[in-house]
Structure 1
Amino acid sequence: MEKEIKINVSLDDKNVPEKIIWNADDSNIRDMPVRALLMGLWDHNNKDTLRLDLWTKDMSRDEMKIFFYETLKTMADTLERSIDDERIAGDMRDFCAYFAEKMDIAEKPDS
Protein backbone atom coordinates (compact mmCIF):
# COMPACT_ATOMS: atom_id res chain seq x y z
CA MET A 1 0.00 0.00 0.00
CA GLU A 2 1.19 3.50 -0.77
CA LYS A 3 0.00 6.87 0.40
CA GLU A 4 0.69 10.18 -1.28
CA ILE A 5 1.40 13.57 0.23
CA LYS A 6 1.58 16.48 -2.19
CA ILE A 7 2.92 19.95 -1.54
CA ASN A 8 2.43 22.58 -4.22
CA VAL A 9 4.38 25.82 -3.93
CA SER A 10 3.61 28.91 -6.01
CA LEU A 11 6.57 31.27 -6.35
CA ASP A 12 6.84 34.91 -7.26
CA ASP A 13 9.30 36.18 -9.88
CA LYS A 14 12.11 36.13 -7.25
CA ASN A 15 11.40 32.48 -6.28
CA VAL A 16 9.85 33.49 -2.96
CA PRO A 17 6.89 31.30 -1.95
CA GLU A 18 3.57 33.10 -2.33
CA LYS A 19 1.32 30.14 -1.66
CA ILE A 20 1.80 26.64 -0.22
CA ILE A 21 -0.97 24.07 -0.67
CA TRP A 22 -0.85 20.53 0.65
CA ASN A 23 -2.89 17.38 0.18
CA ALA A 24 -2.76 14.00 1.92
CA ASP A 25 -4.72 11.19 0.32
CA ASP A 26 -5.32 9.25 3.56
CA SER A 27 -6.95 12.13 5.43
CA ASN A 28 -9.40 14.95 4.93
CA ILE A 29 -6.63 17.32 3.92
CA ARG A 30 -7.49 18.59 0.46
CA ASP A 31 -6.02 21.75 -1.03
CA MET A 32 -5.21 23.15 2.42
CA PRO A 33 -3.35 26.45 2.29
CA VAL A 34 -0.51 26.82 4.80
CA ARG A 35 2.00 29.59 5.37
CA ALA A 36 5.03 27.53 6.39
CA LEU A 37 6.51 24.06 6.49
CA LEU A 38 9.59 22.48 8.00
CA MET A 39 10.42 19.04 6.69
CA GLY A 40 13.30 16.83 7.71
CA LEU A 41 14.16 13.61 5.90
CA TRP A 42 16.80 11.17 7.16
CA ASP A 43 19.34 10.03 4.55
CA HIS A 44 20.52 6.77 6.13
CA ASN A 45 23.23 6.21 3.50
CA ASN A 46 25.03 9.47 4.30
CA LYS A 47 23.83 9.71 7.93
CA ASP A 48 22.57 13.21 7.22
CA THR A 49 19.32 15.16 7.42
CA LEU A 50 17.83 16.64 4.28
CA ARG A 51 15.66 19.69 4.91
CA LEU A 52 12.94 21.66 3.24
CA ASP A 53 12.11 24.90 5.06
CA LEU A 54 9.61 27.16 3.31
CA TRP A 55 7.37 30.03 4.36
CA THR A 56 5.24 32.41 2.39
CA LYS A 57 5.93 36.10 2.27
CA ASP A 58 2.71 36.79 4.20
CA MET A 59 3.85 34.70 7.20
CA SER A 60 4.21 37.18 10.04
CA ARG A 61 7.08 37.22 12.53
CA ASP A 62 4.66 36.48 15.37
CA GLU A 63 3.23 33.51 13.46
CA MET A 64 6.78 32.24 12.82
CA LYS A 65 7.63 32.42 16.54
CA ILE A 66 4.54 30.38 17.41
CA PHE A 67 5.21 27.95 14.55
CA PHE A 68 8.74 27.28 15.82
CA TYR A 69 7.55 26.93 19.41
CA GLU A 70 4.83 24.43 18.46
CA THR A 71 7.23 22.54 16.18
CA LEU A 72 9.77 22.21 19.00
CA LYS A 73 7.06 20.92 21.36
CA THR A 74 5.98 18.36 18.77
CA MET A 75 9.60 17.30 18.31
CA ALA A 76 9.84 16.63 22.06
CA ASP A 77 6.78 14.36 21.84
CA THR A 78 8.20 12.56 18.81
CA LEU A 79 11.57 12.15 20.51
CA GLU A 80 9.93 10.56 23.55
CA ARG A 81 7.88 8.14 21.42
CA SER A 82 10.79 7.22 19.15
CA ILE A 83 13.59 6.61 21.68
CA ASP A 84 11.46 6.06 24.81
CA ASP A 85 13.42 8.56 26.89
CA GLU A 86 11.07 10.61 29.03
CA ARG A 87 13.94 12.45 30.75
CA ILE A 88 15.50 13.98 27.64
CA ALA A 89 12.06 14.76 26.18
CA GLY A 90 11.26 16.55 29.44
CA ASP A 91 14.46 18.55 29.10
CA MET A 92 13.40 19.53 25.61
CA ARG A 93 9.98 20.59 26.91
CA ASP A 94 11.74 22.72 29.53
CA PHE A 95 13.65 24.38 26.69
CA CYS A 96 10.33 24.97 24.91
CA ALA A 97 9.03 26.83 27.96
CA TYR A 98 12.25 28.89 28.04
CA PHE A 99 11.92 29.55 24.29
CA ALA A 100 8.31 30.69 24.72
CA GLU A 101 9.33 33.05 27.51
CA LYS A 102 12.24 34.55 25.53
CA MET A 103 10.13 34.94 22.38
CA ASP A 104 7.29 36.46 24.43
CA ILE A 105 4.87 33.70 23.46
CA ALA A 106 2.17 32.79 25.95
CA GLU A 107 2.12 29.03 26.47
CA LYS A 108 -1.24 27.36 26.04
CA PRO A 109 -2.81 26.00 29.26
CA ASP A 110 -2.21 22.35 28.22
CA SER A 111 1.57 22.99 28.09
Structure 2
Amino acid sequence: MQDINLKITDRNGDLHEIVAPTDMSMNLMEVIRSYELADEGTIGVCGGMAMCASCQVYVGEGVEKLREMGDEEEAMLSEAFYVQDNSRLGCQIPISVEIDGLEVAIAPYP
Protein backbone atom coordinates (compact mmCIF):
# COMPACT_ATOMS: atom_id res chain seq x y z
CA MET A 1 0.00 0.00 0.00
CA GLN A 2 1.19 3.48 -0.80
CA ASP A 3 -0.46 6.71 0.22
CA ILE A 4 -0.20 9.91 -1.77
CA ASN A 5 -0.38 13.56 -0.77
CA LEU A 6 -2.94 15.91 -2.28
CA LYS A 7 -3.67 19.58 -1.69
CA ILE A 8 -7.35 20.40 -1.96
CA THR A 9 -8.81 23.88 -1.55
CA ASP A 10 -12.46 23.71 -0.50
CA ARG A 11 -15.26 26.03 -1.63
CA ASN A 12 -14.53 28.38 1.29
CA GLY A 13 -10.93 28.85 0.16
CA ASP A 14 -9.42 26.71 2.93
CA LEU A 15 -6.46 24.52 1.94
CA HIS A 16 -6.44 20.90 3.13
CA GLU A 17 -3.35 18.71 2.85
CA ILE A 18 -4.76 15.23 2.41
CA VAL A 19 -3.26 11.76 2.51
CA ALA A 20 -5.11 9.37 0.21
CA PRO A 21 -4.68 5.61 -0.21
CA THR A 22 -3.87 4.20 -3.63
CA ASP A 23 -5.05 0.67 -2.86
CA MET A 24 -8.80 1.31 -2.46
CA SER A 25 -9.79 2.06 -6.09
CA MET A 26 -11.01 5.52 -5.10
CA ASN A 27 -11.26 8.62 -7.23
CA LEU A 28 -10.75 12.26 -6.24
CA MET A 29 -14.47 12.89 -5.76
CA GLU A 30 -14.67 10.00 -3.27
CA VAL A 31 -11.66 11.34 -1.36
CA ILE A 32 -13.26 14.78 -1.14
CA ARG A 33 -16.46 13.19 0.16
CA SER A 34 -14.65 10.97 2.67
CA TYR A 35 -12.81 13.97 4.12
CA GLU A 36 -16.08 15.97 4.10
CA LEU A 37 -14.51 18.87 2.21
CA ALA A 38 -17.82 19.83 0.58
CA ASP A 39 -21.32 20.02 2.03
CA GLU A 40 -23.24 16.76 1.79
CA GLY A 41 -25.37 16.62 -1.35
CA THR A 42 -23.16 19.09 -3.23
CA ILE A 43 -20.50 16.74 -4.57
CA GLY A 44 -20.82 13.46 -6.40
CA VAL A 45 -24.55 13.92 -6.87
CA CYS A 46 -24.61 11.42 -9.77
CA GLY A 47 -22.51 8.91 -7.85
CA GLY A 48 -19.40 9.38 -9.95
CA MET A 49 -20.84 8.63 -13.39
CA ALA A 50 -19.61 11.89 -15.07
CA MET A 51 -23.23 13.01 -15.42
CA CYS A 52 -23.57 16.05 -13.13
CA ALA A 53 -20.27 17.99 -12.78
CA SER A 54 -20.88 18.53 -9.04
CA CYS A 55 -17.35 17.22 -8.45
CA GLN A 56 -15.70 19.70 -10.82
CA VAL A 57 -12.28 20.82 -9.68
CA TYR A 58 -9.73 23.29 -10.97
CA VAL A 59 -6.36 21.64 -11.34
CA GLY A 60 -3.27 23.59 -10.33
CA GLU A 61 0.08 21.92 -9.72
CA GLY A 62 0.36 18.47 -11.22
CA VAL A 63 -1.98 18.83 -14.19
CA GLU A 64 0.61 17.06 -16.35
CA LYS A 65 0.20 13.98 -14.13
CA LEU A 66 -3.42 13.42 -15.14
CA ARG A 67 -4.70 11.11 -17.82
CA GLU A 68 -6.15 12.76 -20.89
CA MET A 69 -9.80 13.74 -20.55
CA GLY A 70 -12.27 11.18 -21.91
CA ASP A 71 -15.24 11.94 -24.17
CA GLU A 72 -17.83 11.64 -21.37
CA GLU A 73 -15.93 14.01 -19.12
CA GLU A 74 -15.40 16.50 -21.92
CA ALA A 75 -19.11 16.38 -22.85
CA MET A 76 -20.21 16.96 -19.25
CA LEU A 77 -17.84 19.89 -18.78
CA SER A 78 -19.09 21.46 -22.02
CA GLU A 79 -22.51 21.81 -20.32
CA ALA A 80 -21.40 22.64 -16.76
CA PHE A 81 -21.33 25.93 -14.87
CA TYR A 82 -18.11 27.71 -13.80
CA VAL A 83 -15.90 25.77 -16.24
CA GLN A 84 -12.35 27.00 -16.68
CA ASP A 85 -9.51 25.82 -18.92
CA ASN A 86 -8.15 23.73 -16.04
CA SER A 87 -11.49 22.12 -15.08
CA ARG A 88 -11.73 18.36 -14.57
CA LEU A 89 -14.29 16.07 -12.94
CA GLY A 90 -13.02 14.62 -9.69
CA CYS A 91 -14.86 11.36 -10.34
CA GLN A 92 -12.70 10.86 -13.43
CA ILE A 93 -9.38 11.24 -11.58
CA PRO A 94 -8.36 7.89 -10.07
CA ILE A 95 -6.22 7.97 -6.95
CA SER A 96 -2.85 6.55 -8.01
CA VAL A 97 0.82 7.10 -7.29
CA GLU A 98 1.06 9.07 -10.55
CA ILE A 99 -0.94 11.98 -9.11
CA ASP A 100 1.06 12.35 -5.88
CA GLY A 101 1.36 16.07 -5.14
CA LEU A 102 -1.67 17.09 -7.21
CA GLU A 103 -3.24 20.42 -6.21
CA VAL A 104 -6.89 21.16 -6.92
CA ALA A 105 -9.60 23.60 -5.89
CA ILE A 106 -13.23 22.49 -5.70
CA ALA A 107 -15.36 24.49 -8.14
CA PRO A 108 -18.45 26.36 -6.90
CA TYR A 109 -21.72 24.45 -6.74
CA PRO A 110 -24.57 26.07 -8.67
> TM-score scaled to structure 2, two decimals?
0.28
Name the structure where helix makes up a greater proportion of residues: 1
Q: Which has the higher strand share?
A: 1
> Normalising to structure 1: TM-score of the pair?
0.28
Q: Which has the larger radius of gyration?
A: 1
